[in-house]
Amino acid sequence: MAGKQAAAAAQRILAAMPDWGHAIAQLNAVVAERMGVTLSDLDCLDALNKHGPATASTLARFVDLTSGSVSRMIDRLDAAGCIKRVQDPHDRRKVLIEPTADGLERVRSYYAGLAACTLDDLAEFTEAELAVVQRFIDKARESTNAELTRLRNASSIRPGNRKDSAR
């Protein structure tokens, strides 16, 4: 019976995840719109916040865009006051893109409400339960990245066919 109950619980979680993902996508779209940027631009700011200043080509890899698209993205982020171009201190021929303090603060302020609610939600769990939640998030991220890689590398695979899976 425990196996059936666990399977049913797993199915309920699986069924709930698209709604959660959709809500996050909608939130990100509203934040991007309010900041006057696109979703890719918001991804770029996140990458710059995590990794620090980067060249345009490095940003292209972080957000999976072409060099032309990254150039337009950098122009939009610059116009919105979210980034600045600076010379690379190690190679003056290179230009680095770095986030502005104002740009990062604007992003933080838009997500502050969700962060506070999430902390309140997490306060309801024990330390052991939080460890399980963290383990699930880590595993789900790994699975999502593996599936993303599989789909990118196998353009002829039909949905649901995992024959040459990257896993």
Per-residue pLDDT reduced to its tens digit, 59-98: 999 999 998 999 999 999 999 999 999 999 999 899 999 9
Rounded to whole angstroms, the Cα distance separating 100 from 140 reads: 32
What is the pLDDT at residue 156?
A: 66
Output the six-digit token pair for 35: 């900041």
- Going from N- to C-terminal start, the domains of the chain cover 8-111, 125-167
Q: Could you write out the three-class secondary structure of 61-114?
A: HHHCCCHHHHHHHHHHHHHCCCEEEEEECCEEEEEEEEECHHHHHHHHHHHHHH
**pLDDT over 90 (residue 22):** yes
- The pTM (predicted TM-score) of the whole model is 0.81
**pLDDT over 50 (residue 167):** no
Q: Does the domain formed by 8-111 have CATH 1.10.10.10?
A: yes
